C-alpha cells in the first residue's frame, strides 16, 4: 500500500485515544490512591470506551467535532477522577495537562511517521508505524515522568484554586484551537493548506502550550512555597515574641518575689507571734520552690516553661516537667522558642479539650541521651489524629491558614540540625519525640 492512496492529512482518532490514555495513566501513577488496584478495572474501562468512541467519531462532521472532543476530555477526567486521591479541582487541572500531553504525543508521532512515509520511503503498515510510535511515546512520556517525578512532593501539597483553574483552562482551549485551526479554517494567517506544515503547526503549538501550562504550575507551586516559608517564619517569630513577653512578665514576678523576701525578713524581725511566723516561713518555702522549679540551667527554657505552666494551670491541666535546659544550650534562641513553644501549645490545646480534669495531663522531659538532645512531649487527647507525612492532617483551630505550620516549623528546625522527629498516638496519648545530635 502506497502512502498516496491513503488520507494522511490528519492523525487517526485511535492514536489520540492511545496517547490520551497513556497521559492519564502518567498522572494517575503520580497521584494514585492506595486502593488503585481495585479501581484499575474502572479506569481501564473508561480508557477502552475512549478508544472505541474516538474510532467511531474519527471522521465526524465538523459540527460534531467540539462536542466529541468534550466527551473525550470528560473520559480523561473520569480516568483521573476514579484513580487519584487529590482534591477535585486538582483533578480537573491535571485533566487539562494530561489532555495537552496526549495531544502533543499523538501529533508528534504521526508527524514523524508522515515524514518517514513521504521523505524516507518507509512502507505504510502497522509494523513501521509501531517503529515510530513506541520510541516517540517512550521519549515523550519518559521526559514527562522525569519532570513530574521531580515535582511529585510539591504536587502532593499543591493547592489549585478556582482562580488558578480559569487561566489553565484558557491556555488549554486557546492552544487546542490554534493547533487545530488548519483543519477547520484554511484561509487564516495562522493556518496552512500543506499537510507537513499543518502537522508542524499542530505539534509545535501543542509543545508550546504544554510548556506554558507546566510553567504556570511551577509558578503556582513557587508562590505556595513562598507562602509556606512566610507562614513558618510567622510562627517562629510569634513564638519568639511570646517568649519576649513572657520573659518581661517573669522578670517582673522575680522582682516582686525578691522584694517580698525582704518584707518577710522585716516582718519576722518585728513579729513574734508563732502562728504568723509559721505562715511567713511557709511563704518563704513557696519562694524557694518557685526558684527551684524554674532553674533548668537555661534562661530561655526557664521562661518558656514558666509561661506554659501558668497557662496550663489556668486551664486545669496537670503538667509534669523534667528539663535539663543546659542540654539545649547549643540551639539558637529562636529554635528553642519554636520547638518548646509550638510543642507545648499544641499539647495544652489538646489536653484542655478533655472534659475530665483528672485526665488533662501533659508531660515534658528534656535531657541528654547518648550524645543526643532528647525531647519527649506527651499529652492526653480525645478523638483521632490523622497523620500525613508525619504531620497531623486536620486542625480544630479557627485559623485554618496556619494549620500544621507549628509542627512544620519544628520539623524544619530538627532537619536543619540533622536530627529526627517522630509523632505517635497510642491509647489516648499523643507523643512527640525529638532527637538532635549535640555538637
* Model pLDDT for residues 108-148, shown as the tens digit of each residue: 888 888 888 787 877 777 778 788 888 888 999 999 888 88
DSSP 49-76: HHHHHHHHTTT--GGGHHHHHHHHHHHH
- The CA distances from residue 99 to 110, 165, 182, 252, in Å, are 17, 15, 19, 66
168 pLDDT higher than 70: yes
Q: How far is CA 362 from the centre of its chain?
A: 29
Structure confidence at residue 139 (pLDDT): 92
Q: How far is CA 285 from the centre of its chain?
A: 52
Look at 54-68, 104-118, 142-156, 169-183 and tell me which has the smallest mean pLDDT: 142-156
Vertex 339 angle, CA 338 and 344, to 5°: 100
Angle, helices 88-119 vs 195-270, to 10°: value is 150
Vertex 90 angle, CA 89 and 93, to 5°: 90
C-alpha to C-alpha distance for 212 and 204, rounded to whole angstroms: 12
CATH of region 296-439: 3.30.565.10
Q: Which residues pair with 377 in a beta bridge?
A: 364, 432
Take residue 152 and report the three cell numbers written for it.
Answer: 511529585
Round the CA-based radius of gyration of the chain to a whole number and report it.
Answer: 33
Take residue 113 and report the three cell numbers written for it.
Answer: 511517521
- 210 or 251: whose pLDDT is higher? 210
Q: Are strands 391-392 and 420-426 parallel, antiparallel or unpaired?
A: unpaired
Query: Which residues are CB-contacts of 100 (< 8 A; sequence separation ≥ 6)?
Result: 172, 175, 176, 206, 209, 210, 213
C-alpha to C-alpha distance for 324 and 321, rounded to whole angstroms: 10
Handedness of CA 169, 174, 179, 182 (dihedral sign): positive
Instruction: Outline where 180-194 has alpha helix (H).
Output: 181-184
Q: Are strands 318-323 and 361-369 parallel, antiparallel or unpaired?
A: parallel
C-alpha to C-alpha distance for 34 and 386, rounded to whole angstroms: 16
Structure confidence at residue 401 (pLDDT): 41
* Model pLDDT for residues 7-49, shown as the tens digit of each residue: 566 778 888 889 998 998 888 887 765 555 657 788 888 889 8
* Model pLDDT for residues 399-422, shown as the tens digit of each residue: 444 345 678 778 888 888 888 988
CA neighbor of 382 nearest in space, from 425, 345, 422, 424: 425
Average of pLDDT values for 270-277? 64
- The CA distances from residue 168 to 29, 94, 106, 162, in Å, are 22, 10, 21, 10
* Model pLDDT for residues 344-372, shown as the tens digit of each residue: 888 998 899 888 888 899 999 998 888 89
What kind and span of H or E run contains 189? none
Structure confidence at residue 37 (pLDDT): 61
Domain borders along the chain are 3-230, 296-439
- The CA distances from residue 383 to 350, 391, 430, in Å, are 10, 16, 11
pTM for this model (two decimals):
0.56
* Model pLDDT for residues 275-312, shown as the tens digit of each residue: 666 666 666 665 554 554 557 788 888 878 887 887 88
Phi, psi of 366 (to 5 degrees): -130, 125
Amino acid at each position: 500500500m502506497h502512502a498516496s492512496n491513503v488520507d494522511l492529512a490528519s492523525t487517526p482518532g485511535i492514536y489520540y485515544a492511545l496517547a490520551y490514555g497513556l497521559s492519564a495513566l502518567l498522572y494517575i501513577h503520580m497521584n494514585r490512591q492506595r486502593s488503585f488496584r481495585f479501581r484499575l478495572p474502572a479506569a481501564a474501562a473508561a480508557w477502552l470506551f475512549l478508544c472505541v468512541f474516538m474510532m467511531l467519531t474519527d471522521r465526524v462532521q465538523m459540527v460534531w467535532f467540539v462536542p466529541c472532543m468534550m466527551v473525550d476530555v470528560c473520559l480523561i477526567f473520569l480516568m483521573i477522577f476514579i484513580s487519584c486521591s487529590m482534591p477535585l479541582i486538582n483533578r480537573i487541572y491535571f485533566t487539562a495537562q494530561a489532555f495537552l500531553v496526549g495531544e502533543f504525543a499523538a501529533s508528534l508521532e504521526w508527524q514523524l511517521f508522515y515524514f518517514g512515509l513521504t521523505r524516507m520511503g518507509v512502507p505504510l503498515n502497522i509494523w513501521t508505524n509501531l517503529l515510530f510510535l513506541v520510541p516517540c511515546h517512550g521519549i515523550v512520556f519518559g521526559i514527562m515522568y522525569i519532570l513530574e517525578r521531580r515535582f511529585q512532593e510539591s504536587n502532593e501539597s499543591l493547592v489549585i484554586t478556582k482562580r488558578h483553574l480559569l487561566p489553565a483552562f484558557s491556555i488549554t482551549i486557546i492552544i487546542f484551537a490554534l493547533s487545530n485551526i488548519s483543519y477547520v479554517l484554511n484561509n487564516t494567517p495562522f493556518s496552512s493548506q500543506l499537510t507537513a506544515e499543518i502537522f508542524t503547526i499542530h505539534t509545535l503549538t501543542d509543545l508550546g502550550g504544554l510548556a506554558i501550562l507546566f510553567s504556570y504550575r511551577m509558578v503556582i507551586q513557587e508562590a505556595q512555597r513562598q507562602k509556606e516559608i512566610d507562614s513558618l517564619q510567622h510562627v517562629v517569630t510569634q513564638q519568639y515574641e511570646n517568649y519576649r513577653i513572657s520573659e518581661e512578665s517573669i522578670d517582673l514576678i522575680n522582682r516582686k518575689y525578691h522584694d517580698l523576701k525582704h518584707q518577710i525578713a522585716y516582718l519576722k524581725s518585728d513579729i513574734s507571734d508563732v502562728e504568723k511566723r509559721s505562715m511567713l516561713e511557709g511563704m518563704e518555702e513557696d519562694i524557694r520552690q518557685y526558684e527551684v522549679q524554674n532553674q533548668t540551667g537555661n534562661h530561655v527554657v526557664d521562661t518558656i516553661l514558666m509561661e506554659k505552666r501558668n497557662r496550663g494551670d489556668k486551664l486545669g491541666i496537670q503538667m509534669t516537667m523534667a528539663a535539663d535546659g543546659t542540654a539545649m544550650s547549643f540551639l539558637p534562641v529562636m529554635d528553642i522558642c519554636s520547638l518548646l513553644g509550638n510543642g507545648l501549645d499544641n499539647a495544652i490545646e489538646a489536653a484542655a479539650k478533655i472534659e475530665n480534669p483528672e485526665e488533662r495531663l501533659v508531660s515534658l522531659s528534656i535531657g541528654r541521651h547518648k550524645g543526643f538532645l532528647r525531647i519527649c512531649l506527651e499529652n492526653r487527647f480525645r478523638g483521632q489524629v490523622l497523620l500525613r507525612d508525619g504531620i497531623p492532617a486536620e486542625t480544630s483551630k479557627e485559623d485554618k491558614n496556619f494549620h500544621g505550620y507549628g509542627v512544620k516549623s519544628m520539623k524544619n528546625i530538627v532537619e536543619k540540625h540533622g536530627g529526627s522527629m517522630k509523632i505517635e498516638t497510642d491509647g489516648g496519648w499523643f507523643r512527640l519525640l525529638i532527637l538532635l545530635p549535640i555538637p
